[in-house]
Amino acid sequence: MKTTDTADLWWKHAVLYCLDVETFLDWNDDGVGDFAGLAQRMDYLAELGVTCLWLMPFYPTPDRDDGYDITDFYGVDSRLGHHGDLVEVLRMAKDRGMRVIADLVVNHTSDQHPWFKASRSSVDSPYRNFYVWRKEPPKNQPETVFPGEESGIWELDETTGEYYLHRFYSHQPDLNVENPAVREEIAKIMGFWLELGLSGFRVDAVPFFIEGDPGTVSGDEYGDPHKYLKSLRAFLGRRTGDGILLGEVNLPREEQVTFFGGEALDELTMQFDFVAMQKFYLSLAREEAAPLAEALATRPALGRPAQWANFLRNHDELTLDKLSDDEREEVFTAFAPDEEMRVYGRGIVRRLPTMLGGDPRRIRMAYSLLFSMPGTPVLFYGEEIGMGENLAIGGRGAVRSPMQWTPEENGGFSRASKRRLTAPVVDDGYAPQFINVAQQRHDPDSLLSFLRTLIRIYRNSSEIGWGDCQILDQPHSSVLAHSVSATEGRMVALHNFSPNPVSVPLTLPDADGSTRLIDLLGTGEVTLSDEGSAELELDGYGYRWLRVIEPGSRRLY
């Protein structure tokens, strides 16, 4: 896919914000967040600096997997509102310069979906091949996505005496994407939501989605499964021109690259960088920059339209599956010492502030690093105010507690009784009376104000989204020094993973005494020697962003 117009590549320098409508704001006081509540907070999101909303599933659901078990791909769950409410949110987002994407969850359906009910009613049902059925499951089965919760990926259906495939929960049967009728239906689903105003999709579990039946030799009797992904990207392009597919592809990087579409870049537009995220936490645990520095230095270069999405936290467990067993144990020991804080033997169910013991220095350093890394930053709701988790919810749901707006009961999320809430609010030292939007919004020293500043400076530093990253040499093991360069400009960022202050000698090989370094997060500028060197001070867990102003440049900062 040859895309050259930078105006069309809005995702290269966006700020994504993921939220679950169900837990964001309840406007009719039934205990469940809704689109009417989200509409009331669009100005808040615009004020924060969000440029693209990512909506978690809002479709009709039995809600056994937080909405990822869908019974109608074309509907809006009645608890959240109706299509008119969603369209109003889309209009308000557009008026504020924001785009909206939504989860595309077409790897599986709920077992209550009409398609599956028809499929399991008879082996002769016209919907039988919408799912993957076998008379006997293969002897060698891949591991389930949820070890400890499911014993396998094939489930016996008593009605027909055959087994159906489910890579996730047994109540989520996998769709048969090798069936042309299913592929046509998926295109219709995408087309429907694009017509309503979405700017693309976050594609759930992409490798499982396009893999097909793991029991067959080819995995796809219709040829290379990546051709199907290419066809979806082409369909998106025809319908929108500048829509995106943001893919969840938690694979080794050399495999991830194939999901961008190789040199053609005609498959996924963006992918989450799971490797950098996991190495970031290893660096935090060790108080050493090397793991993250290596992850950034070895990140595959991408063609201009493609992009890596950076994140510190998302709505799932904080997976550590790309770390070695010993490395994973280091992170567990540092940030999830209790068993209830871990899940599936690979992940942590805590938010960043609690993992860092509430230390504001480390928390701010972490977000400074997130926004300075080349790529596009993605925030999960509540991160901007430092929300904690509620381990009482259990599992991955621990980080999906209601948004905390005020210090009032239920955190201003809802005026319903606590027993009616879709999920319990945090009730420890991170409870709403301590952590909320109302108290932080006008406090210049709050985390919310800090994030607003970071987003503003990030948006004024287009090289972060477009540029190439270089790890800069310096002698301190705790310090990550990197530069990002593009035709749009150049900046240098320094981050200290240690509580000890350091003095960092920095040399820019192509600079001299006429080059200026403007401090973006502070005031003033740094004077370089004739050799392009300077000594820079960093506090414990300190951070600095420096704009490189070349001789003759007319940039002010």
Give CA separation, 62 vs 65, 78, 111, 422, in Å: 8, 12, 9, 13
Q: Token pair 């595959």 is at which residue?
A: 300
CA angle 195, 201, 205 (to 5 degrees): 140
Q: Token pair 């709050």 is at which residue?
A: 446
Neighbours of 178 (CB within 10 A): 22
SS3 546: strand
Task: Please tell me the distance from the alpha carbon of residue 499 to that of residue 497, in angstroms, as a whole number.
Answer: 7
Residue 94's closest CA among 131, 45, 132, 32? 45
Task: Please tell me the distance from the alpha carbon of residue 326 to that of residue 176, in angstroms, as a whole number.
Answer: 38
Task: Please tell me the distance from the alpha carbon of residue 317 to that of residue 299, in angstroms, as a whole number.
Answer: 23
**Active-site residue list:** 204, 248
Give the DSSP per-residue string, 26-80.
-SSSSSS--HHHHHHTHHHHHHHT--EEEEPP-S----SSTT-S-S-TT---TTT
Task: Please tell me the distance from the alpha carbon of residue 300 to that of residue 305, in angstroms, as a whole number.
Answer: 14
Helices (H), ranges, 165-246: 180-196, 206-211, 225-240
Phi and psi at residue 391, to the nearest 5°: -65, -20
Give CA separation, 437 vs 31, 148, 412, in Å: 19, 37, 10
Task: Please tell me the distance from the alpha carbon of residue 433 to that of residue 355, in angstroms, as a whole number.
Answer: 20
**Separation of CA 302 from chain center:** 19
Give the DSSP per-residue string, 327-394.
HHHHHHHHH--SGGGEETTTEE---HHHHTTT-HHHHHHHHHHHHHSSSEEEEETTGGGT----GGG-
